[in-house]
Structure formats: C-alpha cells, structure tokens
A and B are shown apart, each in its own frame.
Chain A
Amino acid sequence: MIHEYSRRRFLIAGGATALALPLLESFGPRTAGAQDPEKRRLVVMNFPNGIVNDLWFPTGGETDFVIGDMLKPFDQHRDDMLIVRGLDSLAARDSGGDPHGVGFATALNGARVQEGDLFEHGAAGVDAATGWGGGVSVDQLVGQLNGKATQFQSLNYSIKNLEGTLWSRMSYSAPGQPVTPEASPQGAFDRVFGAFLQSPEVLAKVRAKRRSILDGLESEIDLVSPRLSRSDALRMQEHLGAIRELEQTVATLGDGALSCDGALMRPEIGLGAQVERRADEPANEVPNANNDLDVPVRHEAFRQLMLRALTCDLTRVTTLMTAPAVSNIVLSWLSVQRPHHELSHEGNSGQQLIDKTLIAQWYNSQVAEMLKLLKEAKDPDGQSLLSRTALLYCSELGNGASHHHNDKPHIIFGQAGGYFKTGRFVQAPEGTAHNGLLVSLCHAMGHDQMGQMGSPEYGTGPLPGMTA
C-alpha cells in the first residue's frame, strides 16, 4: 500500500499508469549543495552504430567551427560543448572480436576486452572471440569514488530491455563485471523515488526489516563460501558486494526526500501501459518497428528521472544507453522504415543520406533536450546543474559503415565546475587514444591524481587541451 505523505506536498498522479515525478519548478535541494559546492556530476549517453565522419564533425577552426546538418540540434548549446575529433579506441583495435561489441565495451574504460570464448562473433574467425569488457568504466569508477555521499553510487538506465551481452552493456563495475541498466521507467521510479511516498513511520519499519534480512543474507554467504570451489566462492563474493551496496541505499532510504523538501509531484509523464512490463528482447535480433514506437516516450521518462535524481542529489553519476551496439531500432516516427544498423552500412546519398541525417538529428536532439533541462535546473546556490556537469556523448564506432575504431565521435557538454573549456572544436593528433579523455573526465570529477584509464600502453595523463 502506498501512503501519501502530505507534508511533502506530493501529489500522487491519478490513474494506474501515470508516473508521478517531483515537479521540476520550485525544485531544489535544501542543503546538500551548500555543504559541497564542488559536487560534480557525470552523465553518459551513447549514439549507436558509429557515424559518417565528414558529415558529423564540424568544419572550421577551434572557436569558429561550423556545425553541419547532423549536429544541428546542438546549435543552441554551442557555448557548452567541446567537440573532440581524432580519438581512436586503441583498446578496441587490439581486442579482436566483433567490432561493434569491442568498440562498445572499450568506449568507457579504454581497456582491452577480456580474452575468452563468451562472445564468438570474431571478425577474423572463431579464434577472435572475446570475453567481457576488461576494465572499470569511467562512470562506475567515479561513482565508486564519489558516490559514498549519495544514496546511489550511480544510476544506469537503458531505453531497451536487453539480455546481457558484449553488445548491450556499456558500463563495467570491474573487469569482466558488466552493469545491468534498469530499462523500466516505472521500476526506476519506484527504486529511486518510491520511498518519498512513504510516511516516516512506514519507512522506519521497512528499513529495519530490510536491514535485518540483509544481515542474515550476508552471514549465509559467509557460511557457505568455504564449502564452494574458488570460482563459485567468487560469485558469492560478487553477490555479497552487491548486497553491501544495496545496504547503503537501504540505510538512506527516503533521505533524499528531505533534501528535496518543497518539491511537488505532478502527473508529468503519462506513461501508458505499453511502455511498461514488456518482455526483454535479444540484442541485435529481428528489427521490430512496432516494438520501437515507445522509444521516444522512454527517452522522455528516463531524462526526467535522471534530472530529478541529480537535482535531489540522490546520485551524481547517471548513464543512459540510448541503444545497444549494432542497434536495429526502427525510427519509424521519423518515417524512416529501415533498421538503423542496416542503414549505417549504406551509401551517403539520396534517401539513405536523408534517413541517416534524420536519425543522427533525432538522437542528438534527445541529448540536447537533456542539456536544456540540466541548464534550467539550479543548485541551491543558483548555479545551473550543467555548469557542474560533464555529459559525455560517444559511440561504439568511428565510421559505422566500415566498422572503424579510429576518429570516433566524442563530445563533452558542460564545464564540470570549470574544468572543461567549452565552446570549442578540438582536433587531436592522428592516432591519439581516447583513454586520455577518460582520464580528463576523472580529473574533472575531482580526481586529478588519476594517471590512467585502461592500460598505460595507451598513454597516461589527461588529454591535452581540454581544460579552461
């Protein structure tokens, strides 16, 4: 049963399918920002299937760059963007395996993909199969380092509900440990904001019960582990680690409501039943335009959830997987009837170019919408969220048609508290590893001692020329 706790003036939306979220206006954490004026946020979003390089990247110089059709939606955010060209995923190049898969698995960690035979779509034959991604991704690393202050170390979301494979996971909490993103907006809402709807009395009971149950679960793992093989005991330790992280969340259950006091609820997003409770889909399977029709409304829902979790300081790291690698989403609402991946392998003229441009513009407009919200939302000291945020936007491939891992698209939005010097288009020397940019993000998030991401063979230190 949901208890409405009126003191916080939450208005629960009528109708079983409406998802109520705190109202953005009149929104603002009461104290948290003031205690930690330096709190910085990291947001990650991806563009699937790689790009058409010369049509995607701007022309012109560092500050007088000219945006082409594909990046048009970012025109209004020109001063907040730092477009970096010329970065390669050397880790992907050295990983073997399927180019989409290893491009995705290395994008956020810069580490060579693990060896193994788990994912067999090796480009050079069966021997080029791979395991999972081989390093902690920058979002998870920052979450682990900075997340103790918030209820969730990170919140990871996905537009599609996909089985876990190399192609459908972009974050890793450790080498070989993919992070499963939440794909249900309702589930995500319940998990993050559900406690806001409970009275303190009910919350206290829920916390007490969950704590004693979690305690019991932990001791069961401790007791059984010595009787298992080493590899099974490791699985149990992984489970135990996840329970400990959950304990952090349970211990602070509902606390975010205090810092968001004064927020209103309103039936902001009428999520129809059609976007909920859907079955998961195999990654890279048969394109199904009907199944994709709710993609836009899911973007809207997750955008709002991410924004509000950041504003309430429930987390400072959040990711949205807009599509898996090799995405075959059919963007039929744009009158594009061909699956995205199929199109990405076709020519750059006529209808195919029109469709490719429409797709790029649509994904980019989703990012632009997120930027607009981050810009409008303010910390208690009046600073916009975006000014303390770095939003990394990247892809699994460079040139999508030819599966290249060089000249991959990277855009940083926001200054992350003054670290990044935005309003620029920067070209890195040919052959520059993207690892440096991942290090830059760690520095921007307050960890300026971080020397490397992935492997040192791909360079150390932050990417030159990024800072203000």
Chain B
Amino acid sequence: MVLPEDPAPEALLCGGGRSPVRRLTREEYNNTVRDLLGDTTGAGSGFAPEQAKDGFLNNADVLSTDQLLVDNYMTGAEAVAADALRRGVFTLPCAQEARNCAASYIADFGRKAFRRPLEQAEVDSYLALFEAGAASGFETGLSWVTERMLQSVHFLYRLEPLEAGGGHGLSSHAIATRLSYFLWKSSPDTLLLDAADQGALATVPQVEQHVARMMQDPRFEQMLGGFHRNWITYGSLGSKLKESTPAWDDALKADLNQEADRFIVELFKSGGTYADLFTANFSVLNPRLAQFYGVPAPAVDGFQRVDNLSNRHGVLTLGSFLASHATNSQSNPVKRGVVVRERLLCQHLPPPPNDIMVMAPEPREGATTRERFEEHSANAVCSACHQLIDPVGMGFERYDEFGRYRETDQGLAIDDSGNLLNVTLPPGTPSEFNGVAELAQLLANSAEGPECMTTQWLRYTLGRSLEDSDECAIQALHQSMTAANWKLSGLVTAIATSDLFRHRAPEATPAEENQ
C-alpha cells in the first residue's frame, strides 16, 4: 500500500503535547475486543487493575507492567480467541488456498487490531505462526494469530512511533486512534481507518466531521458516563447504617447511578453548558427513583426526563453524588466540601497534619450536623483548612446521607448557609451563599470551575498529568470556550481539534539522542 505524503506541517500556536505511550485500560480492552471480534465476555475485567492518578485509571505516567499483567494478557487472549473460535469467527469462506486466505485475515484483522496497515515483515511473521497452528487445522491457525495479536504491544499500547528527525507530526492512523479512544474508548471503525489510509484526518474540518459523526454513537454516551463518574466522583455507593429507610439495596443504587449517567447524556444532547451542569432543574428518573426522592412519578415505566423539579441543582443534587460523599450514618459536610474543592475546583487541600486525631463527630440527638462539625472545626490548627472546606459542605445540609432532600436534621431546623472563599467570582459577587442553589450559581460563575472542567477533560483525554507546557493550549481552549458560552459538547470538539490533541511535542529516539 502506498500512503499519501503528509501535508505540509501546520504552524502551531502552542506546540503539541507530551505524548507518553498509553496502554489500553481494562474498559478499553473490553470495548476493543467487542468491536473487533464481537466478544461480549468482558475478558479484560479480570485483569490486574490499573494504577490510579487524579481519580483516573488511564494516566500513562503511573503505568507499570509486571508478570501478573502479561499473564492476564496471555490467558485473556486465549479466552477471547477460544470464544471467537466457538462462534465461528475463524470459519472463513476461503475461495483461495489456505495460506493466502490466512494472509488476508492477518492483513485485515491486523489492520483493525494494530490500528494501521501491517508491514510485510509483520504479515510474514504472523503467517509463520499461522502455519504452526494450522497443523491442528485452519481455524486453529487463525486462532493462534489472533491470540498473538491480542498480546502484541501494537495492540495493548497505543504506540506512536517517532518520525525520523523529530517534529511534532502524528501519523493519520495515530490521529484516528486518538479520536476513537477519546470519544469511544475503543478502536477506530472502518470509516476512521479508511480516512487514515487516505490521509484525510489532517485538517480541523476533517477531524470535526468525524467528531460530529462519532458523537451520535452509543459508545460516546458510555464514554461520557465513564468520564463524569471519574471526574465528579459519583457512583461509589457504600453501605448505610440505616439500610431500611429507604431500602438501600443494589437495585436502588444501580438506578441512582443510571440516573446520573443519563442526566449527563441528556445535558450534552440538549446543548447544556457548564452552568447547566450545576443549575439544571431536571433529571432522568424511573418510578423507583421518583418514590425515593418523593417527587411525582413519570407517566410511563422506565427512565424519563422530568423537568421543573424543585431542590434540583444539576450534578450537585444527584443522589449518586450526594450519597457517595457521606458516611454510613450522616451527611458529612467535610467530605462534600472536599469534593467540591478537589474535583470541581481542582484546588488541592493538604490532609490533616500528623499527630492530630481525625474523627467525624458521631450523630447525636439534640444537635444538628452543623453544630457537631463546628465544634471540631473550632480548633485553631484545623480551622486554617477547614474554613475552606466546611462552609462549602454546610451548603449541602438539606440533603441527607442517602441524597434525599430534608427540611430538618435531628428534628431541628437546618442552617445551610455557607461561604465559598478563595474562589474568583465576578466583581461585586459576595462569596456567602444559602444552600445548594446559590452555591451552584457561584460555581457556575467562578473562574476556577470551568477551567477545572477543562483540566479534568484533558487529563482524561490525553491520558497523562498536565504540566506547565500545556498552559498555552489550555488558555487557547478557554478563550474559544468562553466565546462559545462553555457549551459542553463544544468542549469535546474543541479538544479534539486542538493542537495539543492533534500533535505531539518533538522527541528523539535514544539513537538520535546519542548522536
């Protein structure tokens, strides 16, 4: 195959980004073998868990590979290939002799698995393996080929080999791969691979066209749910001491998590903005959830969008979010304050110093949560940090440990006033607030909030930690997003078409370094 020549290099405003090699996560592995072979066994789920950083599981900077993982890859590939063999995936209608037929499979499947055309030497190497396996039959030969491809570093890692002489270019196949693992968490489809073969992913309009197409795919919705779970940190629904009121069972927890995912998707599809993320007063509920929240049930069974809900303020009032940030016995304003600071404002807080007894005050009659927590925060050593945390978390006090709205706490009136210190607000805006509704407005109007969202998207999309050299590209994104009113789907497109995403910082091979 003759590849078209690369177009003349673009002039970059900010330069490309650092680009460490990315390994497929277990989620990406499962999605990829599903899309390549129709595998639905979830073979990757049993693999060794990824290393975690900043709440995400795809950060290349913390990657580490050991024998357990390559053993997992081996037995995983064997299981996936065995399942494909059973389903007749390797039963090819061969019009030609077996060897040629196998060569076609190797080139075709290899292109999908390695996300680029195979070199002839690679085809030959896999043909030799096919012939060894074919001693036990044609299909077994193809099964061996498939097993090896699924263990190959060209499959397991997203390798972006450097062009001789450095430069910031990425091959069109690398761009196709970046797009598909950004938007779908899976391998490029035929349209993307064809576009890459034709070199038709080099310009911004070409990329935009594919992004628009890919955002209509269910795989995009899955990605949205996955990203927001990691960013906003909902979905960690632990046990509660008062399990019976309400029936805090697996079915309810699953519904709460679904509600959150569906809310996010609905927000994207309806053109929602960053502000809507915190102020939208709709949700997507089924009858069980409507009963749980004490709101009128949707007219039909299943999940339905329900508008004009009182006490609803976007992600901040999702049950899955509120219950994830509570203890098993109470609402816990400290946890809720910390998550707003760390995840939504990207402000890092030091943990309590050593030699301090850290404990949440237990619920007791005759005292509200606020009263009990204010006692512990009165300590001078603690208050330096807790003045940033507790007054934010107190704003959530009308929501109990399950995430339900409440009017009283231990039978006493609730004071949910708070203060969002150390955040840049529009001139003249007081940082004091009452309740989640006003807190949500402050977040929506803050300078740090939208910037934090960009940071979190970039961590997830680039699969690495951010650093000073990314600042130029981040500022450029912010300018264009501010002009576009921070429409959520617009941010996805803006990232996909950014210099940071479509280019890489020049790097040298070890041999070039030594010259």
Contact = CB atoms under 8 A, between A and B. Distances in A.
Interface string A114-150: 0001111111111010001000000000000000000
A282 interface: yes
A220 B239 contact: no
B71 A164 contact: no
Contacts of A190: 75
B27 to A, nearest CB: 11
Nearest to A401: B357
Interface stretch (A26-34, A229-237, A439-447): A229-237
A243 B70 contact: yes
Interface string A135-174: 0000000000000000001001000011111000000010
Contacts of A179: 66, 68
Interface in B69-84: 69-71, 74-75
A99 interface: yes
Interface string B48-65: 111111000100011111
B149 to A, nearest CB: 10
Interface in A306-343: 330, 337, 339, 342
Nearest to A129: B348
A226 B21 contact: no
Interface in A342-383: 342, 345-346
A228 to B, nearest CB: 6
A217 B73 CA distance: 12
B325 to A, nearest CB: 8
Given A220-B153, A229-B509, A233-B510, A242 B49 contact: no
Contacts of B351: 98, 121-123
A403 B351 CA distance: 12
B350 A164 contact: no
Contacts of A249: 67, 71
Given A233-B510, A286-B236, A164 B62 contact: yes
A36 interface: no
Interface stretch (B90-98, B125-133, B287-295, B448-456): B125-133
B125 A216 contact: yes
Q: Report which residue of B49, B355, B465 has the largest number of chain A beta carbons within 10 angstroms of its beta carbon.
A: B49
Nearest to A167: B52
B152 interface: yes
Contacts of B66: 173, 177-180, 242
Nearest to B53: A118
Contacts of B69: 180, 242
A210 B327 CA distance: 49
A283 interface: yes
Nearest to A163: B52
Nearest to A127: B350
Contact of A242 (B53, B65, B161): B65
A163 B49 contact: yes
The bracket for how many chain B residues form the interface is 35 or more
Contacts of B62: 118, 132, 164
A347 B71 CA distance: 45
Contacts of B53: 118-119, 165
Given A123-B354, A224-B159, A230-B510, A213 B50 contact: no
B256 to A, nearest CB: 13
A96 to B, nearest CB: 11
A8 B51 CA distance: 40
Interface in B148-167: 148, 151-154, 157, 159, 161-162
Residue in B64, B75, B351 whose Cβ sees the most chain A Cβ within 10 Å: B64
Contacts of A126: 348, 350
A182 B68 CA distance: 7
Nearest to A248: B67
A402 interface: yes
Interface in B374-399: none
Contact of A288 (B64, B71, B159, B239): B239
Nearest to A121: B351
A246 interface: yes
Interface in B112-164: 125-126, 129, 132-133, 136, 144, 147-148, 151-154, 157, 159, 161-162
Contacts of B129: 212-213, 216
A119 B59 CA distance: 12
Nearest to B354: A403
Interface in A64-109: 98-99
How many A residues are at the interface, by size bracket? 35 or more
B510 A287 contact: no
A3 interface: no
B358 A123 contact: no
A285 interface: yes
A176 to B, nearest CB: 8
Given A123-B354, A229-B162, A180 B68 contact: yes
Contacts of B52: 163-165, 282-283
Interface in A239-291: 239, 242-243, 245-246, 249, 277, 279-280, 282-283, 285-291
B70 A122 contact: no
Contact of B350 (A125, A221, A229, A404): A125
Contacts of A228: 21, 159, 161-162, 509
A212 B511 contact: no
A184 interface: yes
B354 A99 contact: yes
B328 A287 contact: yes
Given A236-B153, A402-B355, A164 B159 contact: no
Contacts of A279: 45
A134 B343 CA distance: 29
Given A229-B508, A280-B49, A235 B162 contact: no
B513 interface: yes
B9 interface: no
B505 to A, nearest CB: 10
A191 interface: yes
Given A228-B161, A239-B70, A403 B355 contact: yes
Interface string B323-358: 010011000000000000000000010110111111
Contact of B61 (A118, A187, A289, A342): A118
Contacts of B157: 235
A7 interface: no
Contact of B239 (A117, A123, A180, A287): A287
Contacts of B357: 345-346, 401-402
A98 B70 CA distance: 31
A283 B490 CA distance: 34
A235 B161 contact: no
A122 B350 contact: yes
B51 A346 contact: no
Interface string A417-431: 000000000000000
Contact of B154 (A205, A220, A290, A401): A220
Given A173-B66, A286-B324, A163 B51 contact: yes
B170 to A, nearest CB: 13
Contacts of B45: 277, 279
B507 interface: yes
A352 to B, nearest CB: 10
A163 B51 CA distance: 5
Given A117-B465, A173-B66, A242-B69, A224 B354 contact: no
6 contacts: A120-B348, A126-B350, A164-B62, A228-B21, A235-B65, A402-B357
Interface of B: 20-21, 45-46, 48-53, 57, 61-71, 74-75, 125-126, 129, 132-133, 136, 144, 147-148, 151-154, 157, 159, 161-162, 236-239, 241, 324, 327-328, 348, 350-351, 353-360, 465, 507-511, 513
Given A216-B125, A242-B67, 20 more contacts: A119-B53, A122-B351, A128-B350, A165-B52, A165-B53, A184-B46, A187-B46, A213-B74, A213-B147, A226-B510, A228-B159, A230-B508, A235-B157, A236-B21, A238-B65, A239-B153, A246-B67, A290-B239, A330-B239, A339-B328
The 9 A-B residue pairs whose C-beta atoms are closest, nearest first, are A164-B51, A286-B238, A288-B238, A163-B52, A227-B161, A180-B48, A229-B507, A280-B49, A232-B21
